[in-house]
Amino acid sequence: MCNFDFGQFFQQPKPQWKTIFYKITLSCVIVATCCECHFSILLGKEISQDDQEAQKEKLMPLQNFIGGWKGVAMQKLGGSARWSAESEWAWSFDEGVPAIVFELTPGRYFTSGRIVPGKEDNMFMLEAKHTESEAVETFTGFIDENQQLELVNDVIEPSRPARLLIKTLADNKRLVLTLQYGSNIKRLQQGATLGYTRKGTVFATRSRPINECVVTGGEGNQQVSYQGETYWVCCKGCLSMFEDNPEKVIAAYEARKAKERAKQQSQ
């Protein structure tokens, strides 16, 4: 079992109910407003190349979650109930629609999830599959001032997952997920905390070459090649995207780099 120092790397959030209620209300209004525009994204319908690039850019703040993780989970912060846990995060491009997907093992609360961008800047929507049934719970949220992804359930009920906090620490070598539940009183109950270390991490190594993923622009960790040229991808989703249509991926990559160069020259 991996040892994870929760005390050093994690501070228990103390949300105020009024703040949470405001965020829930705001999220519901935004979701209702942008429901029609994002209908195709949530259903996984094909979108244009320009829209695909725009959606990828909106999801890039979550790039540091991508990868394999292994650690330990606690039923309650400071409690004695603990178990080994693993998590896998990757990009998904089903029907050409960018999303970030994850799997939790064991899935004591959620087995998997899919995150897509919302209409507003810095807004994200999560569809999480619950362990107890085939039902999907929907969360909406933002990256807060502490640089953690804060997702609130669209429906707050006692003993049901109400809020999910996700963040990386230690130069993105640690990943912490915190789950909070609804209660009969006007505050949230602390649920499980899952602390992971990125698989293959060597903490003594600070500097390392950074290879850009040809699909997303994130940090690549696996080489691929096409017509004698070598490229990098960051996850199985990007590998699949590259293998399905390398010419399209490379063309989009070159267009993105050309745009970056033009922007630098204009400054």
Residue 61 lies in a domain: yes
Q: Looking at the structure, do residues 92 and 29 belong to the same domain, yes or no?
A: yes
User: What integer pLDDT is reported at residue 189 of this predicted model?
Assistant: 82
In the chain (267 residues long), the average pLDDT of successive 10-residue segments reads 48 46 44 41 63 92 96 77 93 93 90 93 93 84 94 86 93 93 79 91 64 93 95 96 95 92 85
Judge contact between 92 and 114, C-beta under 8 A.
yes
Which residue has tokens 């699949």? 240
Q: Looking at the structure, do residues 190 and 251 belong to the same domain, yes or no?
A: no
Q: Looking at the structure, do residues 227 and 180 belong to the same domain, yes or no?
A: no
Q: Which of 198, 220, 252 is the last residue of a domain?
A: 198
Residue 266 lies in a domain: no
Residue 267 lies in a domain: no
Q: Looking at the structure, do residues 243 and 141 belong to the same domain, yes or no?
A: no
Q: Looking at the structure, do residues 170 and 79 belong to the same domain, yes or no?
A: yes
Give, to the nearest 10 degrees, the angle between helix 49-59 and helix 246-266: 70
User: What integer pLDDT is reported at residue 50 of this predicted model?
Assistant: 86
User: What integer pLDDT is reported at residue 143 of this predicted model?
Assistant: 96
Residue 204 lies in a domain: no
Q: Which of 198, 226, 246 is the last residue of a domain?
A: 198
Q: What range defines the domain where residue 222 resides?
A: 211-260
User: What integer pLDDT is reported at residue 5 of this predicted model?
Assistant: 54
**Core vs surface per residue 2-34: b (16+ CB within 10 A) or e:** eebebeeebeeeebeeeebeebbeebeebbeeb
Number of structural domains found in the chain = 2
Residues 6+ apart with CB under 8 A from 8: none
Q: Looking at the structure, do residues 226 and 113 belong to the same domain, yes or no?
A: no
Q: Looking at the structure, do residues 72 and 134 belong to the same domain, yes or no?
A: yes
Q: Which of 171, 198, 225 is the last residue of a domain?
A: 198
Residue 136, domain CATH:
2.40.128.20
- CA geometry: angle 206, 201, 172, nearest 5 deg: 70
